[in-house]
Structure 1
Amino acid sequence: MNTPVWDDGNWSGLPSLEGDLEAEFCVVGLGGSGLAAIHELLRLGRNVVGLDAGPVAGGAAGRNGGFLLAGLAKFYHQSVAEHGRDFARRAYQATLEQIAQMKEETPQAIRLVGSLRIAASEEELQDCMAHLEALRADGFEAEPYEGPEGQGLLIPSDGVFNPLERCRILARQALQAGARLFENTPALSISGQMVQTPQGRVYCQKVLVAVDGRLEYVLPELAGRVRTARLQMLTTAPVSMRFSRPVYRRWGYDYWQQLPDGRIALGGMRDAGGEAEWTDRSETTEAIQQRLERLLDQMDIRAPITHRWAASVGYSANGLPIAEEVRPGVWAMGGYSGTGNVVGALLGREIAWVLHGSRMPGAVLVP
């Protein structure tokens, strides 16, 4: 059992690449960030080929918790302290606008219901209040919260979505707009002019590697700057409705949402796994899954487990995503530190403009 709850089994699949193609740009990775880049390049009138070693959104893009959170990987007050108020404010505003664009692009996959950050200790509650004050100081929506989930803060502008459904919709839209997309087509070698695959090649002007988990394996130049970790989740059978908003708890190490049909999608406990969770393997483990089950017990949720799954994601040392040219003509993006749904999509659009030879108006994340 390693299938995410998001997979309804209705994806018909795409062909693998056979033979040689020419394109202006080749995007390696058909997750949320890669597809966002492809869409932006299409809007700019460019010719694009997209490849993925597995299915569309077969990695973390289609196997995550389905949270749409504004801001960078670290909480807003931490981002202000570490990266400066101006950058943190502009990045937060840009991600708010990205969430709105995502809702417009795929309304059927997204629910903008807000999010809760819940404290598991007095220390964390004080940090929640610092988080709240920093958001309010810069004019962003947030309010203190106390309810059945606990105490913390409510961020009304956040939301949840079905990440796999969104990516599949984007892939279909890209195909209709003229992109050529191929599944089960790993990139064996990558240069700025050519991507070699098992049964063909893509000749191009530039390449974008849009991979989060295992990025340092695809591009060894990034080893030491980005590191792959495993995130694990499970889902229960439907229970009575208890959670109207997604919950981040215990500094974000535990997180869950209740789906519209009543199922609970719960993830986390990565910190409890220690060094073993710094791995590129995406199988679930008994140790972490048992901890997730105990958390369900603490929440007084008694329901059968229907899904268990894991995903590989990339973490950067400073919490900022990787966005740079690592070889002549080869750009890389990834290292979203567990929060790539919004930041990755925004970064994909910004890098598309760089590949186009310009700069996206209001760009924040690309140096």
Structure 2
Amino acid sequence: MWDDGVVTNRSTLQGSHQVDVCVIGLGGSGLSAIDEALSHGASVIGIDRLAVGAEAAGRNGGFLKTGLTEPLHSALEAWGESAIPVYRKTIDEVESVFAQAGEGGRRVGSIRLATTDAEVADCETHLEALRSASLPGEPYDGPEGVGLYFPIDGGFNPLLRCRRLADQVTAGGAVLGERSEAVSVATGRVETSQATVQATTVVVAVDGRLEVMFPQLAVRTTRLQMIGTEPDPGVTVACPVYADFGYNYWQQLPDGRLAVGGARNLHSDDEWTHDGGVSDAVQTDIEVVLRHQVGSQAAVTHRWSGHSAYTEDGLPVGREVEPGVWVVGAYNGVGNVLGAVYGREAVRAGLGLGPFDLPDSNA
């Protein structure tokens, strides 16, 4: 649904290269890492086993959501004292992502919708935590129902954002290689089937399938399915909405089409998978959300999925796995902004510009 059919045709990386930074993964976090490296005058090569934004970064729900992997009051328990400073970093970073998205971004806020008494109570606790930390968020009582409204959030075309950022960093001097899967990653050296890159700093910015590259990490990849519809002039969804503790989510695009995802919690055992495509069971339940929660009878025109890695403790992975090799990922389904924060931090740490000052999962 996000793809306009434009084929970028970036080259496969070939030959031998020597740079300051090599980034593996050309999604939002990897491209942000490249952007950060360029801002410090570093030479950079970025590679991806597929293409720019071809995986979760370009196939997600299109939410520009500030905050952490879970509501602030829950995050304070898992993240500790770092929760609020990291939250503030996402507020700063969302401005960059809106700029990268260009015409594909919409600063319209987002709604956390409460559909049960338990979620109403959780929203009240969530709001108290936000107010205590002087972070943006306010009660919502409107056409969608009741819950919380986050005024600085919004929606965007995630694939367009990746492609625009890729063009930007290429213009800034970075070399990008598509269809260039890393087959070996070690201190100072990355190899593909057709190229060798010597780099002082290596940043692996991969979310879904992270455990394939690093089996020692206790992360699991899940499939996140979505549907898209034809325009529905009879429905108005003013901003991105997530409900049922984040398991269901939807937004309406400026042309009236709807993008709806979720239902993973009803089929979680089946969705811990690296398989692509969609399943009839999950797609049927997403259509239930479309018909009954969103209230649209529009015809479904698109069905797709992406992959995201999750950790048991809800914290992303962010660490130096061996000298000069940094790994960031496993954003638990909310990597559009948080992933960029982690990618930038890894580059700064790798270049010796400061410590890696973000939480790391116990995975």
TM-score (norm 1): 0.94
Separation of aligned partners in 2, 1:264 and 1:247? 11
Structure 2 Cα separation of the partners of residues 300 and 117 of structure 1 = 17
**Structure 1, unaligned stretches of length 5 or more?**
none
Q: In structure 1, what is the Cα distance between the partners aligned to 2:3 and 2:13?
A: 24
Comparing 283-292 with 131-140, greater Cα deviation is found at 131-140
Alignment of 1:197-346 (within 5 A): 197-222=192-217, 224=218, 226-240=219-233, 241-298=235-292, 299-346=294-341
Match for residue 166 of structure 1 among 161, 164, 183 = 161
User: How far is the alpha carbon of 1:329 from its aligned partner?
Assistant: 2.3
Q: Is 1:148 matched with 2:143?
A: yes
1:120 aligns with 115
Contact 1:347 1:365 in 2 (8 A): no
Match of 1:356 among 329, 332, 351: 351
Deviation at 1:307, TM superposition (A): 0.8
Q: What is residue 8 of structure 2 aligned with on the other side?
A: 12
Return the letter of the residue paired with 1:109: G
User: Is 2:318–2:358's contact at 8 Å kept on the other side of the alignment?
Assistant: no
Percent of aligned pairs with the same residue? 44
Deviation for aligned residue 1:327: 2.3
Could you say what the CA RMSD is over the residues aligned between the two structures, in angstroms? 1.6
**Distance across 1 between alignment mates of 2:268 and 2:239:** 29
1: CA distance between counterparts of 2:194 and 2:162? 25
CA displacement 1:265-298 (0-9 Å, x = unmatched): 0000011112111111121111100111122221
- The question of 1:63 aligning with 2:59 is answered yes
In structure 2, the partner of 1:91 is 86
Q: How many residues align?
A: 359
- Unmatched runs of 5 consecutive residues or more in structure 2: none
3-state SS of 2:134 partner: coil
Question: 2:101, 2:156 within 8 Å by CA — same for their partners in 1?
Answer: no
Instruction: Please give the secondary structure, in 2, of the residue aligned with 1:128.
Output: helix
Counterpart amino acid of residue 304 in structure 1: A
1:175 paired residue among 170, 184, 190: 170
Distance (Å, rounded) in 2 between the aligned partners of 1:37 and 1:302: 41
CA contact (8 A) 2:201 2:351 kept: no
Alignment partners' CA distance in 1, 2:360 and 2:270: 32
Distance of 1:116 and 1:289 partners within structure 2:
23
Distance 1:328 1:81 in 2: 31
CA distance 1:364–1:193, change in 2 (3 Å):
closer
Tell me, in whole angstroms, the C-alpha distance in 1 between the residues paired with 2:246 and 2:58. Answer: 19
Q: Aligned AA for 2:285? A: R
The alpha carbon displacement at 1:162 in A equals 0.9
Q: Distance in 2 between matches of 1:158 and 1:245?
A: 9
Asked whether the 8 Å contact 2:101–2:158 carries over to 1, the reply is no
